[in-house]
Amino acid sequence: MGDVALGARSGHDGEEDRGRPVDATPGADDAVTSGSDPAAGAGDGAAPGEQQPPTGDQGAGGSTPAPRKPRSFWKELPILIGIALVLALLIKTFLVQAFSIPSDSMQNTLQEGDRVLVDKLTPWFGSEPERGEVIVFHDPSEWLAGEPTPEPNAVQKVLSWIGLMPSAEEKDLIKRVIGVGGDTVECNKTGPLKVNGKALNEPYVYPGNTPCTDDDSGGQFKVKVPKGYVWVMGDHRQNSRDSRYNQDDKFHGMVPVKDVVGRAIVKAWPINRWGTLPVPDTFDQPGLDQQSAAAAPLSVAPQAIALTGVLPVAVWRRKRKS
């Protein structure tokens, strides 16, 4: 009511002005009064000394309202956990996932029980596995037939669901790519292993093992890798059931590129074994690569994009949790 009276006041219409001399001061009629002017208060219909009711911006005692109390930590905790779980699922699905090494077939590069982080973003950019990369792939054709499936406990199931541990039902394997589409891979006697006629110097092979195995079960071979497939072998050559020993399956020992989950890029656990998993120099020798130069940048650029994609998400998660 007071604000309405102040807005409608003209300086000439009020019963209090009758019988009083008009102020002749120039500009008095056009003066703007503020809400704190005592004279203005009297003209607003309030008697002298009468206190105006508090406005919407003031408390009962004329003071500003108390600031809203922040939500308690225990009320925010479920929200933060929910956000973290959603982000973990997105990272697991599109960026990076953790996998456990179930056997010794990749010694000494990887030990049983190691945890590796697998880049799942690179394939989204059309890049295919390259020679020398350590990859995780789905079982292409019953390679793990007869292998026992461990029964995870409740905690392992939760960790598997959010991507901190692999799922026991996924039936995944981890090996090193030796040949890609168009390559000829061969081995005679105990080696050396050859790709497109070039002998590989393989320092990553388990100490005491030979590059090939002199047997009639698959240790001796010469294969042409079809487009869309890769030929894989374990670093522990005498303890790895890889492409060599699955040549009688429907893919003749090859792994379809569509079954590749991603490239293992980091040994993350245990912490004393932390380290990257680079491509060995032997796969960079001249004359080995028969692929077009235009396809080569795809094997590098998406990996950099993967890292730049993961880091901001990780930082944002830390800020939300702090």
318/125 Cα distance (integer angstroms): 28
287/197 Cα distance (integer angstroms): 9
**Selection from 262, 255, 182 nearest residue 224 by Cα:** 182
Q: What are 288's two structure tokens?
A: 């080995």
| Contact (CB, 8 A) for 303 and 151 | no
Task: For residue 240, indicate whether it is catalytic.
Answer: no
Task: For residue 189, indicate whether it is catalytic.
Answer: no
* From 92, 175, 194, 267, active-site residue: 175
128/259 Cα distance (integer angstroms): 11
| Contact (CB, 8 A) for 209 and 238 | yes
54/97 Cα distance (integer angstroms): 60
**Selection from 148, 150, 132, 129 nearest residue 259 by Cα:** 129
* From 100, 103, 105, 127, active-site residue: 105
Active site residues: 105, 175
